Structure 1
Amino acid sequence: MPTNRRSFLAGAGLAGGLSALPLGGLSAATASAAAQPDFGPKIGQALLSRNENPYGPAPSALRAIADTAKMGCYYADRGQQRLTAMIAERHGVAPAQVVVGEGSTEILCAIALAWGRKGAILCPDLFWDTTALYGERQGVSLLRVPLAQDMNVDLAAMQAKVTDGVALVQICNPNNPTGMLIAPAALRTFAAAVTPTATLLVDEAYNELTDRPEDNSMIDLVRSGADVIVCRTFSKIYGMAGLRVGYAITSEANAKRIQSHMMSFGGNLAGLAAAIASYDDTPFLDQSRAAVLEGRAMIVDAVARAGLTALPSQTNFVFVKVPDANSLRDAMAEKGIAIRGAYGPWAGYSRVSTGRLEDVSRYAAALPELAQRLWA
């Protein structure tokens, strides 16, 4: 491992340390809970369940947070404007075509409300549907389409369901939790077919982790004037999940419509400072991506050694085919390793995220043993 890589992996963990609180006078149960850190993994836990990147935030982001913390008494709208301009310049769009929010979650929830009041949201059966479900709880109608036989998004079946009653078609690419990428040419053909009727929303949270990020993105369709919304986040490759910064790129009209349904304004000062400082931090991004890909390769190798198979992943997680996801989750938990259980009826797939390489090593060592114990 190159020296700069070792330094990166070692140094990145320093930000996670938290000072213990005084425990005098607390009950045993309360003292035990207080001894655990308020953020991040529990003591001794390998946290591989939440698609986080523990090698962020970048050192440049941490310096920016420290330097600007004293300005936390002020609203952060000028910082939000600066980040908006940076995003617009990189992607060749006008600042008015960019929406920055408290994570892409806020933006996706706003889209669900804004478009859901005009018609239904058409989506795959299995995808990161938290924000669509938020809309459904507010009365939005969701139309779900089963995945294809190979577990990828079935574009042909979705296209067949697009009618005048559909206002939005929502896709996560690469998909979560499957990790699979829709071929960009197929998605562009799909966009051309559906956008005369409905807006296409593509959640590209994991785009920077794919083999060819620029080729796999649909931002070029926005530049060409198509009715497309692309959402991105600083939560994944930038390692800023807890700092809550995300953005959308779309037409000016769509951007105004999204903003009219957002709940916050001005932005989170610490998150914005970190995002501005690390947006163009290429050395960190390269090292961050390398750590994710190394962890992913370790998982894939462990899956093979366990006699199991997994779907092809272009993300920082792997969807492993198993006899029972919940039993594996519980057995891993006994070893202090947190992974996901079953996604509804998809009990035959287990999602495991990349994390610190030492934690991925624990999963990789445990998986063959547990597969033998549980299912041999």
Structure 2
Amino acid sequence: MYMLAPYACHPEQTRGRRYIEAPPTGRNAFQRDRDRIIHCNAFRLLEYKTQVFVNHEGDLFRTRLTHSIEVAQIARTLARNLRLHEDLIEAISLAHDLGHTPFGHAGQDELNACMREFAPDAGGFEHNLQSLRIVDELEERYADFNGLNLCFETREGILKHCSAGHARRLGEVGERFLTRTQPSLEAQIANLADEIAYNNHDIDDGLRSGLITIEQLQVLEIFATHDAQVRSRYPGIDRRRLICEVIRAMINTLVIDLTETTLANIRQHQPESVDDVRAAPPLAAFSPSMRAQADALKKFLLENLYRHYRVMRMTNKARKIVRELFMAFLDQPRLLADQHRRDDPLSQARAIADYIAGMTDRYAIREHTQLFSMDNGLSRPE
């Protein structure tokens, strides 16, 4: 094991857990967090939750589970390069999407709209906050407490963004959003590893689906540069191997740039502890030129993949399912599973959001079909 940097999070210096527990034997506190996340129900459900394409559209497209594993792999590499704590950064990466709804961002957007319409005092719905809610409250695995009782540092990394109103209600873990300070470097790096993973792997899935083409991607500097390098090195390479090699090279370039730029920022600000990291400006970053290329890639994917008419058609159907499920449970609370029933309207709406957010794509489709006894348009590929 390499020696941790002084600015890394050290498990023996953790701010602790919400409920006091005896320290683990044979593993550190962040390993315990990682293990609890892997064994929880919400983590297993990610296997059948949409990344971009609904689960039944193909066996090789990313799901929330495979995406989370890919984020963790990239984040661990970065952690080792920067001498950060690998177990902590892996725990954050594996937990960051636990609160995602079925049908990806379409499901989240519609559930947020329903909550704001029918329970305005609840503060809407946001998958990032829901991930924290799952590890703090909703998992029921331990006799002594609800949730997973994770370390502060893991919870801090899961909560990537938060409104002031929510931050005030969350206490210590939300305090940095009020004081405008930063999270640990492990949290900062996990956030950027997430971006590297979804941008590059959405290219792979977009090309596999036929919704975008290599020719379209040639307008992007980061793609065109690596595409030319791979073709030059491997003349006559077949299309599938070409795509894999280009994406592999792009990820490597982004990881190297992020490592070098972050190390330069560390040398400039010279943090000697994790508290110094929290008091400094954001230290994890891409270089300005790489940031511009990554932003151009994100814009391309938004315009050409996420807003493609076939994806939008799925999005509209998904939003319809989420809204109609929400309305059915709101009108007839008895339809909810017993553990999700609540008496007062605000708690009832939150229980409905918890229930729907915990559904996989296929479970939401099945529930909708059973409740409305009709084809919802997502029950089979078109």
TM-score w.r.t. the length of structure 1 is 0.28
- Structure (1 or 2) with the greater helix fraction: 2
- Structure (1 or 2) with the greater strand fraction: 1
TM-score w.r.t. the length of structure 2 is 0.28
